[in-house]
Amino acid sequence: PFQVVGGKVKKPGKRGRKPAKIDLKAKLERSRQSARECRARKKLRYQYLEELVSSRERAICALREELEMYKQWCMAMDQGKIPSEIKALLTGEEQGKTQQSSTKLAKAGKTEANSSNL
């Protein structure tokens, strides 16, 4: 039942490392340290989740306010009134479009001038 491998005699039975005589106090201290680290990780995880929930709640409130504003605008438009905010948006977009088109034309003119100099 004995095996000779590489000049050494091996006994059949359990394989792997034999458990070393572990100091009981060291084992308990490692267990306590592991428990402390686990509690710290759990605390951080709960803090992160609480912050996430509060940020989502703030976002929900902001979206509800925005929705209420749009409802008010729609009710005003149903009555034939155009809210001043929409007028400002429309006039701002018109001004923005004319500014963008003029800057695009200016940039196009510069690139044409640069390409003709090459």
pLDDT by residue (tens digit) across 7-38?
666 666 666 666 666 688 899 999 999 999 99
For 89-114, write each residue's pLDDT tens digit: 888 877 766 666 666 666 655 555 55
β strands within 8-97, DSSP E: 8-10
pTM, entire model = 0.49
Q: For the chain, what is the radius of gyration of the CA atoms?
A: 37
Judge whether 85 and 73 are in contact, CB under 8 Å.
yes
- The pair of structure tokens assigned to 69 is 């504003």
